[in-house]
Amino acid sequence: MTTILDGKSLALSLRGKVKAEVETLKAAGHRSPHLAAILVGNDGASKTYVNSKEKDCEYVGFESSVYKLSADTSEEALLGLIETINKNEQIDGLIVQLPVPKHIDSIKIIESINPAIDVDGFHTLNVGKLAINEDTYISATPFGVIMMLEEYGIDTRGKHCVVIGRSNIVGRPMSILMSQAGRDATVTVCHRYTKDIGAFTRIADIVIVAVGIPDFLTADMVKEGATIVDIGITRVDADNKKGYVLKGDVDYEAVKEKSGAITPVPGGVGPMTRYGLLHNTLKSFKKKHNIA
């Protein structure tokens, strides 16, 4: 029987633990951890995601600040805002919601964030620490996936894991985490130039997909009993009240019949990504206040 890796329920449970820890910290006289987010432009998915983060912060007892900037905001103005937040000792975490408008260099923006409050884990310093297995902020999505696999007891040691996608935000850190000591998977990274990706996924024990192409992974590309983690989420036009449906990178209904465990979309990796952000913000707060 297929195990549904229910990220929504798991994230709710884990957020409850964060909430309890925040209550303990406040009872000891500490202020609440504070997460700041910058949203540039009017991208619908980004607005929805930032709104969800605000609700998560409220639930666990964090302070949250959202800076909403128009799409024509200059790169210089955005860098100035980031510098101001970097200097604010009352803010423990800062994220700039991606994507940013095309006239803004996203790499320059990421590198301008103080690594100590880079709770998205995108800064070169934090990515480098991850690569050499030093303590750091792990990108929220890969962190959420690792937590999900651990909480559901998915065995990774000695397993063959195929990661489809090589972005600096998801694919690359995911491959590093899966091969690290303690997880000990043998990792293959596939991408758009990989010939016959199915030849790799059909022999994989774990497939992690992050390509942003709806229904990319089909049933004939997976072996019986494999664990399937679907990181992709795309709005597809539909004749309904919203005008769209959310689709993952996996042909869910068909692949579910063959897999041993699988994440749904929505309700799988997404909520765990949001938990990862809370975890990193609390970690930053505790570092700042020398709390073990």
Residues annotated as part of the active site: 53, 97, 120
Q: How is residue 41 annotated by DSSP?
A: S
Which three-class secondary structure state does DSSP give residue 73? coil
Please state, as a whole number, how many other Cβ atoms lie within 10 Å of the Cβ of residue 253: 9
User: Sign of torsion, CA 22 24 26 31?
Assistant: negative
- Neighbouring residues of 113: CB distance < 8 A, sequence distance ≥ 6: 82, 86, 94, 96, 122, 123
How many Å apart are CA 54 and CA 132, to the nearest integer? 33
How many Å apart are CA 204 and CA 181, to the nearest integer? 19
- Environment class of 225 (CB within 10 Å of its CB; exposed 0-12, middle 13-18, buried 19+): exposed
Using DSSP bridges, classify how beta strands 244-247 and 234-237 pair: parallel, antiparallel or unpaired.
antiparallel
What would the DSSP string read from start to end of 103-144? Answer: TS-HHHHHHHS-GGG-TT--SHHHHHHHHTT-S----HHHHH
**Helices (H), strands (E): how many in the chain?**
10, 11
How many Å apart are CA 245 and CA 42, to the nearest integer? 19
